[in-house]
Structure formats: C-alpha cells, structure tokens
Amino acid sequence: MKRLVLEAEGQVTPVCSKTHIAYSFHLDRQGGKLWIDYAYGPKNLEDREQAHPLIEAGINKYTEQAQRARLLEKWESFLPLKNLITVSVDDPKRHRGAGHRHDPEQLLFIGSEEASPGFVSGELSEGLWRVTLSLHEIVTDNCRYRLRIHHEEA
C-alpha cells in the first residue's frame, strides 16, 4: 500500500536561480520503498529575443576574452535555454543521493534492495526525511513545480 507523505507545488522565477527549496516529511514506519514523483515546467525558454541577452551575458561572464567574439556571433547555437531543477534526498541519518537529470518529469525511488541511479539503496529509517529541490537555473518568467512523495510499505 502506498501512502502519500508529502505533496507540494510552487512557482519560481529567475531570481530564484542558484537557490534551494527544502521539504521535510516524517516516516512513521521503517522499511518499504520511497517513491518521488516530481515535475516542473516549462522546460524551455522559447522566446529568442528574451534568450539573446541571457546568452550574451553568459558568454561574457564565463568565457575567455579571446573566445567571446566568436561565440557571440553564433549565440543561436546555445538555444533553447532550459530551466533546470534537480532533487536530492536525505534520511534521518545520511544523504541518500541526488538525481541531477534534465528530464522535467521524473519518478524516482529508494528501496532496501535497489534505488534509482544517483540514489543509495538501503533500509528506510523512520524519522524526519528531507527532499531538496536545487534551482540551478530558471530562465523563463515563471516555472511551476510539483513534488509528491509516497511511502510504499513492505
């Protein structure tokens, strides 16, 4: 039987880039499997005119002077710009891993015998858990996210 232990939704903007949003939830029983259903959107910034100054600023900030003119000429090769939000999990005792994937819809799991790539399998401890959303980059005016966590009891 799966039991919902956390449900959260929110909206972020470009000013939220390079920050984190943490959610805590309590498992009242050990064991079983944790399911993390997570999505955000939109994924891409479709407006080329809005993307152009962002790409120029990135080229000017992160490239060597000698490379800038060449890269600025082909700025369109960096399209489309993408939002990136990733998820990491901590149990009451330790870090259980992170899913640094570009897919805007993910279903991840942690169980005693196996786990999604990037996460550590092992017995699920009862107690306070934490899921952190890392907002690497938000390039659209608004980006909505949804997070649902279920505990599937053994």
Q: Mind listing the pLDDT tens digit of every residue in the chain (154 residues)? A: 899 999 999 999 999 999 999 999 999 999 999 999 999 999 999 999 999 999 999 999 999 999 999 999 999 999 999 999 999 999 999 999 998 899 999 999 999 999 999 999 999 999 999 999 999 999 999 999 999 999 998 7
Q: Sign (positive/negative) of CA torsion 43, 133, 9, 104?
A: positive
For residue 154, what pLDDT is reported?
77
Q: How does strand 127-137 pair with strand 44-45?
A: unpaired
What is the rounded radius of gyration, in angstroms, for the C-alpha atoms of the chain?
19
The pair phi, psi for residue 20, each rounded to 5°, is -135, 150
Assess contact for 87 and 132: CB atoms under 8 A: yes
Global pTM value? 0.92
**Confidence at residue 30, expressed as pLDDT on a 0 to 100 scale:** 92
Cβ neighbours of 130 (radius 10 Å): 15
